[in-house]
Amino acid sequence: MKATPGVFRACLLGGVMLLPRGPSLGAQAARASEYQVKAVFLFNFAQFVDWPASAFPDSTAPLVIGVLGDDPFGRYLDETVRGETVRGRPLEIRRFQNIEDIRTCHILFVSPSEGSRLDDILANLKHRAILTVGDGAAFAQRGGMIRFISERNKIRMRINVAAAEAAQLTISSKLLRAAEIVTPGKP
């Protein structure tokens, strides 16, 4: 699946969730489709977020999308970004098992497997220029920047603008319009 801005706009504006329908399709197919769409979102976040110049060692350094913990994307994330560039930077996927392993990362998906360590993870990343994304309960209220919410076969976003600003990230108004803005600590 090749990600294009048109696909992203369809996902954002329509809140489209491509979950299979019908009783004969199992949870595995639904899970794969959900994370296929989320992979496209992660790719496109790179186009709607600005990082400070200090987040990159030089002008040719790749933009790194990372996954912390168990990888729910399988091959979808790799396939989505293969051969793609954003603002002249190649995209690179890295997988991490521990927060201490993260040296360079610009977009970090925090896997549901890290739920019990979420507060420590977000505290360690608090002032680093890393866009944190997750789909765990209260992710954005607890200090994450973007939370995916799956509702009625659609993916929606909750964005914690204050957390992004604290990390010196600027999120485009186009992305903000498609999301619910949350205040840290409030349900």
Predicted confidence (pLDDT) per residue in 64-110, tens digit: 999 999 999 999 999 999 999 999 999 999 999 999 999 999 999 99
- β-pair partners for 93: 65
Domain boundaries, the chain: 5-181
> How far apart are alpha carbons 36 and 113 in whole angstroms?
18
Q: Percent of the chain at pLDDT above 70?
A: 81
pLDDT band at 171 (very low <50, low <70, confident <90, very high): very high
What is the pTM for the complete model shown?
0.84
The confidence score (pLDDT) of residue 9 equals 39
Which of these ranges, 27-31, 38-42, 135-139, has the smallest mean pLDDT? 27-31
The confidence score (pLDDT) of residue 184 equals 74
Asked whether 174 and 47 are in contact (CB, 8 A), the reply is no
The confidence score (pLDDT) of residue 127 equals 87
The confidence score (pLDDT) of residue 110 equals 98
CATH number of 5-181: 3.40.50
- Local structure of residue 61 (DSSP, 8 states): P
- Local structure of residue 112 (DSSP, 8 states): G
- β-pair partners for 109: 67, 133
